[in-house]
Amino acid sequence: MITRRVVLHFPSRLVDQPIISRMVREFKLDFNILKASVTPKEEGLLILELSGEDKNYQGAIDFLKKQGVKIQPLSQDVTRNEKRCTHCGACVSICPADALTVHPVTREIIFASDKCIACELCIPACPLGAMEVHY
Q: What CA–CA distance (Å, rounded) separates 125 from 111? A: 14
54-67 vs 19-26: helix crossing angle, rounded to 10: 150
Q: What CA–CA distance (Å, rounded) separates 120 from 81? A: 14
What's the total number of domains in the chain?
Answer: 2
pLDDT confidence bin for 100, thresholds 50/70/90: very high
Inform me whether the pLDDT recorded for 9 exceeds 70: yes
Inform me whether the pLDDT recorded for 76 exceeds 80: no
Which DSSP state fits 12?
G
CATH, residue 67: 3.30.70.260
**Mean pLDDT, range 116-134, rounded to an integer:** 89
Residues 69, 94, single domain; the answer is: no
Phi/psi for 114 (5° steps) reads -70, -20
Residues 66, 31, single domain; the answer is: yes
Residues 67, 98, single domain; the answer is: no
Residues 38, 87, single domain; the answer is: no
**Mean pLDDT, range 61-84, rounded to an integer:** 88
Q: What CA–CA distance (Å, rounded) separates 27 from 56? A: 5
Residues 21, 46, single domain; the answer is: yes
CATH, residue 104: 3.30.70.20
Residue numbers of the domain that contains 54:
2-73
Residues 10, 42, single domain; the answer is: yes
